[in-house]
């Protein structure tokens, strides 16, 4: 019953996490687009009101006219919408999901003794440490160099170096799947911390200064803009890190940390092209698609690098041999039933009888052959030849002997 309830918690938290993440990322993308697409107002009345930029847009059968005031309007409006619960809800649901799936099952999901032999308690402490340390390192780099000449380049280089190191370290300590997810989670934590520590408090100070009739300190707006731009660059790397942990062939290789770094770098470069595109269109300049081109080239290079080697003569000869159900059942009994039996039915799947194997054939093929997600962390040391055996049996009709 406990496993069943955890599965429900997993499902509902994952659902909620995706919903609120869509809301947060969508609003982030929209406001970055808006900031880069605004033009100075031509209407003297808008100029007199202190409007710094405006945009006309059409959507849903109507016309919209958003306006931006820098640093703030001369008079505070009665109703002011704050964008922060999208961020907080995304982090809370994500951390809840991470807790239910990884921290409660650390010995299975975090620890791979073939990677690093340590206790589940130590792995949990280290995983939480990654989330905290990333924020303090990133925030320290921003505060130390963000306002210097070429500060954006220095901050970007420093953060990239740290992410490369963190990716390498995570893949030396944790199971590959957990390492990929953890690197994405540490960046996502910094994104939400940007909102919680700097963006919203800064905006609250601006509102308080306006209401008190005091001069508005422009540093709050500058810092909020800086961290918001950083967040939009984090989004695609975070998303690919989260999604990639569902594909075993990405994180099971010897140099999995390099695969993760290249995937995230490709996402950041592609995102940069779209951010720069908005500015280029407003200013009448050429759209710098070369960054997206480099990002796509990195993805193509990964496709080539990770492509499976051509089968050997022995493998080709074995592929021509019929795969018997008895041979497949022997593999499943050795590699799968330790977690899928009458007493332990992970994810509600049992494979301890012929009838149950036939019933779950599709799932076995998907998880063990196509995605290579099972056995978890390859705890039972299934071989590529054994996966190929299951593949041949499934593709020949998956019939019992």
DSSP 97-156: HHIIIIITTHHHHT--TTT----HHHHHHHHHHHHHHHHHHHHHHHHHHTTSTTHHHHHH
CB 375 within 8 A of CB 388: no
In a domain, 265, yes or no: yes
Domain extent, residue 158, equals 2-28+84-306
| Average pLDDT value over all residues in the chain | 89
Q: Is the domain of 181 the same as that of 249?
A: yes
**Structure token digits, residue 2:** 């406990």
Model confidence band, residue 195 (pLDDT cutoffs 50, 70, 90)? very high
For the ranges 165-169, 326-330, 394-398, the maximum mean pLDDT occurs at: 165-169
CB 217 within 8 A of CB 205: yes
Q: Is the domain of 181 the same as that of 330?
A: no
Q: Is the domain of 276 the same as that of 338?
A: no
Q: Is the domain of 271 the same as that of 387?
A: no
H helix or E strand, kind and range, residue 53: strand 51-54
- Distances in whole angstroms, Cα of residue 329 to Cα of each of 287, 333, 334, 356, 388: 57, 6, 9, 11, 14
One DSSP character per residue, 59-89 reads ETTEEE--EEESS--SS--S------HHHHH
pLDDT tens digit sequence for 253-282:
889 999 999 999 999 999 999 888 887 877
Q: Is the domain of 237 the same as that of 260?
A: yes
The total number of structural domains that make up the chain: 2
In a domain, 20, yes or no: yes
Domain final residue, candidates 251, 276, 306: 306
Q: Is the domain of 188 the same as that of 151?
A: yes
**pLDDT at site 2:** 67
Lowest mean pLDDT among 51-60, 87-96, 208-217, 301-310: 208-217
For the cut 90, the answer to whether the pLDDT of residue 369 exceeds it is no
Q: Is the domain of 302 the same as that of 317?
A: no
Spatial distance between the Cα atoms of 228 and 198, rounded to a whole number of angstroms: 10
Residue partners of 268: CB distance under 8 A and separation at least 6: 233, 236, 237, 295
Q: Is the domain of 113 the same as that of 260?
A: yes
Of 114, 83, 61, the closest CA to residue 256 belongs to 114
Domain final residue, candidates 259, 286, 306: 306
DSSP summary character for residue 340: B
Look at strands 57-59 and 62-64 and give their pairing: antiparallel
Spatial distance between the Cα atoms of 338 and 374, rounded to a whole number of angstroms: 12
Residue partners of 378: CB distance under 8 A and separation at least 6: 114, 252
Of 289, 301, 231, the closest CA to residue 263 belongs to 301
**pLDDT at site 1:** 56
**pLDDT at site 215:** 85
Q: Is the domain of 332 the same as that of 302?
A: no
For the cut 90, the answer to whether the pLDDT of residue 393 exceeds it is no
**Residue 39, SS3 per DSSP:** strand
Q: Is the domain of 237 the same as that of 109?
A: yes
Q: Is the domain of 298 the same as that of 361?
A: no
pLDDT tens digit sequence for 100-149:
989 988 998 999 988 999 999 999 999 999 999 999 999 999 999 988 88
CA 218 to chain centre: 33
Domain final residue, candidates 281, 306, 331: 306
50-69: average pLDDT:
91
Spatial distance between the Cα atoms of 362 and 326, rounded to a whole number of angstroms: 17
In a domain, 232, yes or no: yes
In a domain, 116, yes or no: yes
Which comes out higher in pLDDT, residue 132 or 364? 132
In a domain, 67, yes or no: no
For the cut 80, the answer to whether the pLDDT of residue 319 exceeds it is no
Q: Is the domain of 227 the same as that of 138?
A: yes
Upstream peptide bond of 183 is cis (omega within 30 degrees of 0): no
Spatial distance between the Cα atoms of 91 and 193, rounded to a whole number of angstroms: 9
């Amino acid at each position: 019953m406990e496993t069943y309830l955890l599965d429900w918690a997993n499902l509902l938290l994952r659902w909620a996490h995706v919903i609120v993440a869509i809301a947060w990322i969508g609003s982030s993308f929209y406001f970055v687009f808006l900031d880069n697409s605004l033009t100075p107002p031509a209407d003297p009345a808008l100029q007199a009101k202190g409007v710094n930029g405006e945009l006309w847009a059409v959507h849903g059968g109507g016309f919209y006219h958003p306006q931006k005031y820098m640093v703030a309007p001369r008079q505070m409006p009665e109703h002011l919408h704050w964008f922060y619960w999208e961020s907080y809800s995304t982090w809370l649901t994500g951390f809840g999901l991470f807790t239910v799936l990884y921290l409660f099952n650390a010995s299975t999901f975090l620890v791979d003794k073939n990677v690093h032999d340590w206790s589940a308690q130590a792995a949990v402490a280290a995983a939480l440490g990654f989330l905290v340390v990333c924020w303090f390192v990133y925030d320290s780099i921003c505060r130390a160099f963000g306002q210097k000449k070429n500060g954006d380049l220095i901050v970007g280089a420093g953060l990239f170096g740290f992410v490369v190191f963190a990716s390498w370290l995570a893949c030396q300590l944790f199971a590959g799947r957990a390492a990929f997810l953890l690197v994405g989670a540490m960046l996502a934590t910094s994104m939400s911390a940007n909102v919680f520590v700097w963006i919203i408090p800064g905006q609250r100070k601006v509102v308080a200064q306006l209401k008190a009739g005091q001069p508005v300190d422009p540093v709050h707006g500058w810092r909020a803009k800086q961290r918001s731009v950083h967040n939009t660059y984090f989004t695609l790397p975070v998303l690919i890190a989260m999604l990639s942990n569902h594909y075993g062939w990405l994180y099971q290789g010897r140099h999995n940390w390099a695969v993760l770094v290249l995937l995230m770098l490709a996402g950041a470069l592609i995102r940069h092209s779209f951010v720069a595109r908005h500015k280029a269109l407003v200013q009448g300049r050429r759209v710098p698609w070369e960054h997206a081109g480099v990002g796509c080239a990195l993805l193509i290079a990964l496709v080539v690098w990770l492509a499976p080697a051509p089968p050997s003569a022995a493998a080709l000869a074995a592929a021509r041999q019929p795969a018997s159900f008895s041979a497949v059942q022997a593999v499943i009994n050795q590699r799968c039933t330790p977690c899928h039996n009458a007493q332990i039915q992970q994810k509600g799947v049992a494979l301890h009888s012929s009838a149950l194997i036939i019933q779950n054939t599709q799932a076995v093929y998907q998880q063990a052959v196509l995605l290579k997600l099972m056995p978890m962390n390859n705890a039972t040391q299934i071989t590529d030849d054994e996966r190929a055996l299951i593949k041949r049996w499934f593709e020949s009709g998956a019939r019992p002997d």
